[in-house]
Structure 1
Amino acid sequence: MQKSLAVSLLALALCAGPTLAFEPLPPETMDDTRVFKVEVLQVTDIEPYQEAYNGFLKSLQASGLVAGKNLSINKVAIDFDIEKGGFWSRLGVLLRIRQEASRIVEAKPDLVLTIGTPATKYARGMLADAHIPLVFTAIANPEDAGCVSLVDGGEGATGSTLYTDMADSLKLVQDVFPNVRRIGMVYTDDENGVANVAAATRSGKPLGLDVSSKLVNKTDHIAPSLKELYGAGRGVQMFAVPLDTYYGLHRYEAAIDLGDFGIENKVPVVTLAMVRVPGAALYVGADFTQVGRLAGNQAAKILQRHTKPDVLPILRQETPTVMVDPARMAALEVTLPPAMAARKTVTSSGFWQIDLAK
């Protein structure tokens, strides 16, 4: 009886051995003749989104996935008639996104990249039902795009976020401009813009900062709102730019006008997003290219290792990028705190970059 039991245990051990010793195949054994199909979907075609997309491609390339070689990409940017404004109704955007999502489901790609909150929020359900992996990027708050939390993308999804701690960003602004108590922000119904303004309003109160905001349509000129916020009624001492596609439309018209208004009235302009705002003195936020690279890292794992997106956390830039325009600082007669000045390096554009990681 004991001999029979011993033989049985030995047989089980021999059977279990190979299973316990199993290791995934190394990358070089993968089929490098396969061409992966990736669909890209976004709403509006603005420069920051292109930066995120470029970062995504660079990350894939670093992993050996190259467009035109072993990677086939179809990119769609849902456009709209900005003068008529019809497509910017929420229903119009929803219908266009769902039409594209339906087409993508029929195309059966290996992966979908969504850029921005609207494309992510309204396409994810159809992609999850079709079991198509979704990677997103360039969204301010993942929860606004249907994610479970800042780190959990939910069913069939993962990606990267532009999220930065607004309290930390405003504290940094306060360190540079200690006399400012009232901040003005102009925004639209853009999901990222709404989230940014809400976070700034909420986070500013414990710091003694009062945020006054003005909601406008994407077709509106910004000057009337600036005058209203700067006038005697609200008397803001600074303007802050949120993450909002409004500032990238019409060749940055709103951003340029805001910068000019700040220069003419000697009002500081800061941006809480790394977007081009001529006239801004201080930039604080996540870098679109870097955040796009993080999304590319997750996409490479899904495509090359067959990792399910559900098990991959949402990634974000842990330390925000901080840029300073020394010419604008000089015009405002403002100097950097010594601790920040000690961490500056001069970029090719003449701006100062502050390394908070030092």
Structure 2
Amino acid sequence: MKKKVLAVVLGMSMVVAMMTGCGASKETSDSANSAEKTYTIGISQFAEHGSLDNCREGFIEGLKEEGLEEGKNLKIVTNNADADTGTAAQIADQFVADKVDMICAIATPSAQAAYNAAMETDIPVVYTAVTNPVAAELANDDKSPVGNVTGTSDELPVEAQLKMIREILPDAKTIGILYTTSEANSVYSIEQYEKLADKYGFKIEKTGITNTSEIQLAASDLLGKVDCLTNLTDNTVVSALPTVLGLANEKGIPVFGSEIEQVKLGCLAAEGIEYTQLGKDTGKMAAKILKGEASASEMDYELITESSLYVNEKVAENLGITVPDTMKERAVESFTEITEN
């Protein structure tokens, strides 16, 4: 009898152990499933050019540094709007229809389109390379988001740029700016140039365009009125920068860029931000949101305030311009050749 009871007790113990084991196994399985979740991010890039490409690459790198890696626990779908706002809207609508976990929008028009498309959903939007999120109606004056949207700003260091131009061209009087009238970031940047130009003895001459087909004629006309051009982070203009540079070189007029890639392509110099780092910062913000550590609707946008000097000595040589040694010494990078686009 005792043996029977013992057998029953032992049997019950085994059953309990098996049940406990199954519970532990289930918990482990659930945890594993959670850890193995694959997130899908739709990247909407407004145009294809160096600074925005660097933003995209930095964004992916920032995600990777936070443990979200493409091919492991991350799927990335990238679409380019080719500097067309209508296409940007279509891309955003498709991402929403596909129910991606997040939209990363690179440049102001794509950010505006993505926010508008995702507004009635729970899909967070993270933007980068948006010069003025407030002017773009993506943020409030205190940097807080207007909805489930946040990101990073690439606001131009306008005063540093003006100071640099004056240092290189001590006799210049008029700076020309070519810009897209529909780009909120460009309109804002020109306002900053106009506010500060007089402080450095400059007059600003601006010409607006609506699309790339107008750039050649507009640039030709503008070059006849100025001593130099300064380029914004205007996506439509930047995507046609080789055209602008070609026309300017024919007239021997220097063009100043707004970041490193433009200087590589043939701009004389630039005081600009580092776009790969901007993208990384954005990627880290996105990772926090996807992991549930933060909400886009509660994250203020971030702004890089430090600028870096880039100089193309080959362009200076071609134009017969002497770059002061003090500038060469403080330049983060100097180039001795012009990169073919």
The bucket for the TM-score relative to the shorter chain is 0.7 to 0.9
- Cα 1:262–1:219, aligned 2, differ >3 Å: closer, same or farther? closer
Q: Which residue of 2 aligns with 1:279?
A: 266
Matched, 1:213 2:200: no
SS in 2 for 1:142: coil
SS in structure 1 of the partner of residue 35 of structure 2: coil
Structure-2 residue corresponding to 1:168:
160
Who is 2:289 aligned against?
302
- Could you tell me which residue of structure 2 aligns to residue 73 of structure 1? 76
Q: Does 1:37 find its partner at 2:40?
A: yes
The 3-state SS of whatever aligns with 1:276 is helix
How far residue 65 of structure 1 moved from its aligned partner, in angstroms, is: 0.7
Q: Aligned residue for 1:267?
A: 253
- Does residue 1:155 correspond to 2:142, yes or no? no
Pair 338,276 (structure 1): closer, same or farther in 2 beyond 3 Å: closer
Structure ranking higher in helix proportion: 2
Distance 1:100 1:344 in 2: 39
Letter in 1 for 2:73: N
Aligned counterpart for 1:239 among listed residues 226, 229, 236: 229
Contact 1:239 1:270 (C-alpha < 8 Å) held by counterparts: yes
Structure (1 or 2) with the larger CA radius of gyration: 2
Instruction: Indicate the percent of aligned positions where both proteins have the same amino acid.
Output: 23
Separation in 1, partners of 2:211, 2:176: 18
* Cα 1:173/1:224, change in 2 over 3 Å: same
- Could you tell me how far 1:158 is from its partner in structure 2? 1.2
Contact 2:309 2:331 in 1 (8 A): no
1:144 counterpart SS class: coil
Distance in 2 (alpha carbons) for counterparts of 1:178 and 1:140:
29
What's the TM-score, normalizing by structure 2?
Answer: 0.78
- CA-based RMSD: 2.9
Partners of 1:290 and 1:190 lie apart in 2 by 27
Residues 1:188 and 2:175 aligned together = no
Query: For 1:185, what is the secondary structure of its paired residue?
Result: strand
- For residues 219-270 of structure 1, give each alpha carbon's deviation from its aligned partner in whole angstroms, at most 9, with x where no partner exists: 4354433442343xx3x11111122222344xxxx42233233333322211
> Which AA in structure 2 matches 1:328?
V
Deviations 1:332-356 (A, max 9, x none): 4443445433324656x547xxxxx
Stretches of structure 1 lacking an aligned partner (at least 5 in a row): 1-27, 81-87, 352-358
CA distance in 1, matches of 2:317, 2:98: 55
CA 1:177–1:151: 2 relative to 1, 3 Å:
farther
Q: TM-score, normalization: structure 1?
A: 0.75
Identify which of 193, 199, 211 aligns with 2:192: 199
